[in-house]
Amino acid sequence: MTNNITHIIKTVQKDSIAQELGIEAGDVLLKINDTEIKDIFDYQYLLQDEYIEVLIRKADGEEWLLEIDKDYDEDLGVEFENGLMDDYRSCRNKCIFCFIDQMPKGMRDTLYFKDDDSRLSFLQGNYVTLTNMSDDDIDRIIKYRLEPINISFHTTDPKLRCMMLNNRFAGDALLRVKKLYEAGITMNGQIVLCKGINDGDELERSISDLSAYLPILESISVVPVGLSRYREGLYPLEPFDKEDAKKVLECIHSWQKKLYPKYGLHFVHASDEWYIMADEKLPESERYDGYLQLENGVGMLRLMNDEFEDAVKEISSVENFKEIKEKLTEELSVVTGMLAYPYMLDIADRVMDIFPGIKIHVYAIVNEFFGELITVSGLLTGQDIIKQLKGRTLGDRILLPQNVLRSGEDYFLDDITVSYVEKSLQVRADIVKSSGYDLLYAILNMERSEH
């Protein structure tokens, strides 16, 4: 292959085109339409046709040329051992706020890999700085219409961006945004805000500059820098306080008021941390423009709360609700980070009001591993959870948010497994997805289809 990567098929989905044609795990994809596949961009693009010819090499070395009629954009139903079908591109920057640089030594190697790969932006929503992309990469994104692309801006001042990313090309990389904009490639952006560096007037400038790319650039999230306790030898950064948070929200809200009447988008959004720091109410759901920045912690608490209330209405309206209510008697615990703790308390109170037979303990875990300034649940470790829950009244089981685990795995950032937590605390641990529906039904120990 031209990129020296062998495209080995890892799994074949049941009832897929691939299964019907006899493609199996271990087979190798050689070509589509007589074209060698460089990476996932090529693969996705070549699959769009309604008629394709696929060349497969079987385990015994035999090559099959398969002629396939399918729906436009229909997938073959396979997954590859290498999800990108190419080497992963590591980040060339040395950002002053990089969280990976703030992690302790001795953790597993994969946690120290910094990606800056436009293909992961397309596939998984990861953010890229554009410093790791060539003009050819931009041209391929435009040709293949691979969107949305998520971009880490941080600032639109070229010199300041070079300083923040510790990359002398970081300012020039911003010119690629204009090319994507002119081609109509949908984008979303983020600004990691660092106190005294890119806040205040610099934040105003960045929002003003980026608003020129509306509506192709659909949204910008503003998130506070995460500061762990492992910052020795790194650029000196300070945490934001309540007054700082209020000023950030004032800036963001003023821009929302300017932009929404013209574009129908609020465009710039504050992550949930700012509202909690400022002790201000979360915006109503309509202000999040369809939650374009949910994975960046923008509107997560609002959506969870709204979904929870909808779930309460859903279960309260069933014919046998009275019977369900009488049967539910259990004591359990909800485990969360410091950020979401007040909201989890409110949810627990609502459940106990509606279902008097249920007793819920809510425990906020202080992040001793990374430092108390880290308040999100996604960075909690198994050792902190065990240490802080030992000797507590836990009831029959504990509920843990799904984001405490590595994707698709059953262990925490510190490699402690869920089963080890259960054994240490002598209690069952249930993993709960982030939606308010999942939370309510997990508390009730029910499937949504049961009523």
Q: Where are the domains of the chain?
A: 7-80, 100-297, 303-450
- Residues 103-125: tens digit of each pLDDT: 888 877 666 556 554 455 455 55
Which residues contact residue 134 at a Cβ distance below 8 angstroms, ignoring those fewer than 6 apart?
none
- Residue 180 C-alpha from the chain's centroid: 23
Identify which of 165, 164, 151, 267 has the alpha carbon closest to the alpha carbon of residue 208.
267
Average pLDDT, the chain: 90
Q: pLDDT confidence of 178, banded at 50, 70, 90? A: very high
- Angle between helix 341-354 and 436-443 (nearest 10): 50
Least confident of 6-15, 153-162, 362-371: 6-15
pTM confidence score: 0.83
| Statement: residue 6 has pLDDT above 90 | no
pLDDT band with cut points at 50, 70 and 90 for residue 1: very low
pLDDT at residue 38 in the model: 83
Most confident of 14-23, 101-110, 210-219: 210-219
- In three-state secondary structure terms, 185 is coil
Rounded Cα distance between 123 and 110, Å, is 19
Q: How does residue 85 score in pLDDT terms, banded at 50, 70 and 90?
A: low
Residue 2 pLDDT: 46
> CA-CA distance, 441 to 444, in Å (whole number)?
5
108 vs 350, more confident: 350
Query: Which phi and psi angles does 49 have, rounded to 5°?
Result: -70, 155
Checking if the pLDDT of 132 tops 90, the result is no
The answer to whether the 100-297 and 303-450 domains have the same CATH topology is no
- Considering the domain 303-450 in this protein, what is its CATH number? 3.40.50
pLDDT in tens, 401-451: 999 997 668 899 999 999 999 999 999 999 998 899 999 999 999 987 755
Fold of the CATH domain 100-297: pyruvate-formate lyase- activating enzyme (3.80.30)
Q: Is 406 exposed, middle or buried (0-12, 13-18, 19+ CB in 10 A)?
A: middle
**CA distance linking residue 8 with residue 166, whole number of Å:** 37
Strands 28-32 and 7-12, by their bridges, are antiparallel
Whole-angstrom distance, CA of residue 8 vs CA of residue 287: 44
Pick the CATH number of 7-80 from 2.30.42.10, 3.40.50.720, 2.60.40.10, 2.60.40.1180: 2.30.42.10
In 3D space, the residue among 420, 190, 432 whose CA is nearest the CA of residue 297 turns out to be 190
Spatial separation of the C-alpha atoms in residues 384 and 424, rounded to whole Å: 12
Residue pair 124/147 in contact (Cβ under 8 Å)? The answer is no
Per residue in 352-397, pLDDT (tens digit) is 999 999 999 999 999 999 999 999 999 999 999 999 999 999 999 9
* Helix (H) or strand (E) segment spanning residue 219: strand 217-224
